[in-house]
């Protein structure tokens, strides 16, 4: 399967969650076993030789491919969650969104200094959530941070919020 076939499997939902937004629904990639396996294989091939020690998935769609990828890479999985969801001591990062602020958290014992971390989420739009996740993971002094998305909406220029120390990859790109 190639990228165009994966792209054709993404469902478009017009005017969701608000009028004017063309929502890219990745759940259609996950419901078909063949496509899910292909997507997992594509992600694995991208990172198999990078020395990844932990995959961090952002709530909630990052919790789908993140653990599958961690398993394939023989790495641990770390959930990056919204406030109040993690039971032990956390680090947190607050960031601005279009309509206010949001916060994400990770357990303080999730990562050891010097680890190689892959941050995964389903979609890159403006980049705010993932930029906050990168800042959060930097608190652990990792050796390297990789960032991955299934989909990138190129016109929104979310890639530009990341500095050159972060390798950012996406699988499916839309001009929007």
Residues 169, 161: Cα–Cα separation, whole Å: 14
Report, as residue numbers or ranges, the catalytic residues. 61, 98
Residues 145, 129: Cα–Cα separation, whole Å: 15
Q: Report the DSSP pairing between strands 11-14 and 22-25.
A: antiparallel
Q: Are 44 and 118 in contact (CB under 8 A)?
A: no
At residue 47, φ and ψ (nearest 5 deg) are: -125, 5
Residues 80, 67: Cα–Cα separation, whole Å: 12
Residues 128, 4: Cα–Cα separation, whole Å: 27
């Amino acid at each position: 399967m190639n990228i165009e076939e994966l792209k054709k499997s993404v469902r478009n939902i017009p005017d969701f969650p608000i009028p004017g937004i063309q929502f890219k629904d990745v759940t259609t990639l996950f419901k078909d076993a063949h496509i899910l396996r292909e997507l997992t294989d594509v992600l694995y091939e991208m990172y198999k030789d990078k020395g990844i020690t932990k995959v961090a998935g952002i709530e909630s769609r990052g919790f789908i491919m993140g653990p599958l990828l961690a398993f394939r890479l023989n790495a641990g999985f770390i959930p990056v969650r919204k406030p109040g969801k993690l039971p032990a001591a956390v680090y947190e990062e607050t960031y601005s969104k279009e309509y206010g602020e949001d916060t994400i958290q990770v357990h303080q014992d999730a990562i050891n200094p010097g680890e190689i971390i892959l941050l995964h989420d389903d979609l890159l739009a403006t980049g705010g959530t993932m930029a906050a996740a990168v800042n959060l993971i930097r608190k652990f002094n990792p050796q390297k941070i990789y960032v991955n998305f299934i989909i990138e909406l190129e016109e929104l220029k979310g890639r530009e919020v990341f500095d050159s120390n972060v390798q950012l990859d996406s699988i499916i790109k839309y001009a929007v």
